[in-house]
Structure 1
């Protein structure tokens, strides 16, 4: 793996002039999407994980046969290596099967997402396929409203047992997923992909894709996704109205606004009274319990297994940053923050094209997503895979 601050542009980074569909890479992008989606169906877990593993064998093999070279930003490569070292050393304290399996996932799947897959899956093409796949799955999610069966093979299309926040009487759609948040995550990325396609090519089909995926997101009751979509659209508008320097300020400002809002929620800084009473789904108790646990073991944390001796599900704090800090201590947590936040801000600073703008906006969204969900860039879950893949597009210099 070569590490260099001066990144060269890849051939796949010229989609503005060349819109020809590259069949092999399109097939590989679709293979990745299908494999990470199937784990949320009624398919047996062992079968789904086997399919994911085979998909990665194909993807990595294609990379080796096609080029085999790996280029990356030396700073973030070193940060990632340090982070994996901390995680590996922490494993020595709890060398059980689950922790070993998660470490192997970090060293294999996550590493491939960061340093290999971005070079063989063109950014524009991956986003376009994600927009189309999510639009199809959104449409499938509405079939129960039309009287179609709710189970077809290993696909369960049942509506979620709750009311849509914005329209009482309608139930959230789940499509083939086991809960609406998974569909919401894919619809969010598909929405941004469709919006990116529309801004780049100004085609009516891109606008239609945007409408379908955004409406699908609205039908999932995933409030975090709604907020991220609004922020994403505002950042797009801000970039078009002002220059790149102002875009960087807007990106940093959006991240700081979230941090300040959270501090106000916990009355750590003065703010509107309603924020201290704003519902975040019972997360306050979990976050406080997890932070208290970190104070008791700040250096090495509790490992991948997390915290199990606390009530109220503190082992699942629904916050990626808290999860990493409690898992791997202050050092591991700071390294994780440097990777996630550093790539986001640096991506904004290096923006040269609409691809770079969209990548930065996605990274901002993932920074915010991790505040309210236990979804790090580690692992083979759908959203974790896409987070690490988007980080990879920046780290290897594929998109700017």
Structure 2
């Protein structure tokens, strides 16, 4: 499915828009240059049927690892094609986090497959923790992030979230409209009504220090224990996808818990975390 979503978006690299039945397929509104200049000039990021390209980026990234795992198990032309298409989708959508985390996941994936236990387990856990824990620190202390790094407004949202959390640190504000909790601390109206754009801050904001710390520890617990127990390529693929979900939550508002209603990524990540728990329970 993810490969077909990428195919739907690719024509917008060459045209401003086209209709797919009742749906109008358009690119994103800004232009970016593709490193390392594989295509001359700037292009508009593809977003397929979605409102923002980041959604396609995460879906393509998850699809890439799913099809890559199947390709390594038993390569076929269709699996190889899907793997390439999904990788292109993670690249051409313009989401820096989606593509960077895809590359990180790729390193972890091959480390898990080609190194023997317990070296592979230690390597996977070390790579993940060396990225995950500093990102948690930067989320809590965004002032530590160098100013030349463009977070597309997230720095303001994270600082406002931290200020809001300080007013009700233990139990948080409860489920509800997170943007309403932090808007008081946002001076620029351009960033208002957007929420934290960080799932871990969202958990601290809605459930306080008790819930936020518990959520971070839950993510670490599942990844560390499932990486200890992973054996088959299928299990290693699941662990890598869990890691991708965990890293993406640094820059997205969805979470496994703590949201009103059902959201696609929250549901999808819950399923993969469930499989991760099953991996080490069955070990």
Matched, 1:385 2:267: yes
CA deviations on 1:148-185 (whole Å, 9 max, x unpaired) are 96233442211111113415332111212222111112
Q: 1:144 to 1:295 in 2, by over 3 A?
A: closer
Maintained 8 Å contact 2:26/2:47 = yes
- For 1:396 and 1:236, how far apart are their aligned partners in 2? 19
Alignment of 1:267-306 (within 5 A): 275=146, 277-305=148-176, 306=178
Q: 1:345 to 1:180 in 2, by over 3 A?
A: same
Partner in structure 2 of residue 242 of structure 1 = 115
CA deviations on 1:274-330 (whole Å, 9 max, x unpaired) are 945322222222212211221210111112222143314486111100110011111
Matched, 1:341 2:230: no
With normalisation by structure 1, the TM-score equals 0.60
Q: 1:242 to 1:318 in 2, by over 3 A?
A: same
Maintained 8 Å contact 2:142/2:155 = no
Partner in structure 2 of residue 260 of structure 1 = 134
**Residue 43 of structure 2: SS of its match in structure 1?**
coil
- For 2:150 and 2:129, how far apart are their aligned partners in 1? 20
Correspondent of 1:172 among 42, 45, 52: 45
Alignment of 1:45-194 (within 5 A): 133-145=1-13, 150-166=18-34, 167=39, 168-194=41-67
- For 2:199 and 2:74, how far apart are their aligned partners in 1? 35
Partner in structure 2 of residue 3 of structure 1 = none
Maintained 8 Å contact 1:355/1:399 = no
Of structures 1 and 2, the one scoring higher in RCO (CA 8 A, sep 6+) is 1
Maintained 8 Å contact 1:319/1:371 = yes
Q: CA RMSD in A?
A: 2.6
- For 1:251 and 1:177, how far apart are their aligned partners in 2? 32
How far apart are 1:229 and its partner, in Å?
A: 0.8
How far apart are 1:396 and its partner, in Å?
A: 4.0
Maintained 8 Å contact 2:101/2:244 = yes
Q: 1:314 to 1:277 in 2, by over 3 A?
A: farther
Matched, 1:309 2:157: no
With normalisation by structure 2, the TM-score equals 0.83
- For 2:137 and 2:147, how far apart are their aligned partners in 1? 9
CA deviations on 1:354-394 (whole Å, 9 max, x unpaired) are 11111111111111111111120145222222111101112
Q: Return 180-189 or 321-330, whichever deviates more.
A: 180-189
Correspondent of 1:323 among 193, 202, 206: 202
- For 1:284 and 1:363, how far apart are their aligned partners in 2? 25
Maintained 8 Å contact 1:156/1:178 = no
Q: 1:320 to 1:149 in 2, by over 3 A?
A: closer
CA deviations on 1:57-104 (whole Å, 9 max, x unpaired) are xxxxxxxxxxxxxxxxxxxxxxxxxxxxxxxxxxxxxxxxxxxxxxxx
- For 2:18 and 2:55, how far apart are their aligned partners in 1? 17
How far apart are 1:147 and its partner, in Å?
A: 5.5
* Structure 2 unaligned regions, length at least 5: none
- For 2:270 and 2:130, how far apart are their aligned partners in 1? 24
- For 1:169 and 1:256, how far apart are their aligned partners in 2? 35
Maintained 8 Å contact 2:16/2:27 = no
